[in-house]
Amino acid sequence: MASTADFRNGLCFMFKGEVHTIVSFLHVKPGKGPAFVRTKLRNVKTGRVIENTFNSGVKVDDVRVETREYQFLYKDDMGLNVMNTETFEQTTIPDTMIDNSDLMKEGQIIQIIFHAEEETPLTATMPPVVELVVTSTIAGEKGNTASSNALKPATVETGAEVMVPMFINEGDIIKVNTEDRSYSERVRS
């Protein structure tokens, strides 16, 4: 059992019969009345974020979770096939478990959070930035390349499409933010 004093970002607990994790929280002590905690909770299964207010001192059933490193092997119609980097055990997880999974290339290391008692995967995350090779893009028009806000579509080695600046060419290696699929920078080689 955990109380509202134990709340921290990433804490997993049972809420309304399902596992939720705390995205953000704020302890509030008004001048008049009892203290409370405002939270944003993410449902681990559906990914839906809800807001909830807890009275100060309320107890919740915390869920023990373990974070393990897995290596992405390949994708098929069953989902994403991954391998534990310590035990070399292979398993399949649904591709909906990872946001922007089309940015993953073979050999990519990901973090999977498991429910410790049930040994079921709850959620998975990619590194914040990945390096990918641009396989195809249109050539930048003369005169448009000087402006930093002009973007064009580019296909990367995983088959995903991202928006890149006009000066990016085929064969360039770029860094892509996995959270919002945005171009970060060109890798100098």
**Count of the separate structural domains present in the chain:** 3
Tens digit of each residue's pLDDT (9 = 90 or more) over 75-86: 999 889 999 999
CATH of the domain at 147: 2.40.50.140
Report pLDDT for 134.
Answer: 93
CATH of the domain at 53: 2.30.30.30
Q: Report how far residue 91's alpha carbon sits from residue 110's, in angstroms, rounded to the nearest whole number.
A: 13
Q: Which domain holds residue 171?
A: 129-186
Q: Report how far residue 60's alpha carbon sits from residue 7's, in angstroms, rounded to the nearest whole number.
A: 10
Q: For the residues 180-187, what does the mean pLDDT come to?
A: 90
| Residue 70: pLDDT over 60 | yes
Tens digit of each residue's pLDDT (9 = 90 or more) over 108-155: 999 988 888 888 888 888 999 999 999 999 876 666 555 557 888 999
Which of 106, 103, 102, 66 is closest to 87 using CA atoms?
66
Single pTM value for the model: 0.73
Which of 95, 101, 69, 73 is closest to 178 using CA atoms?
101
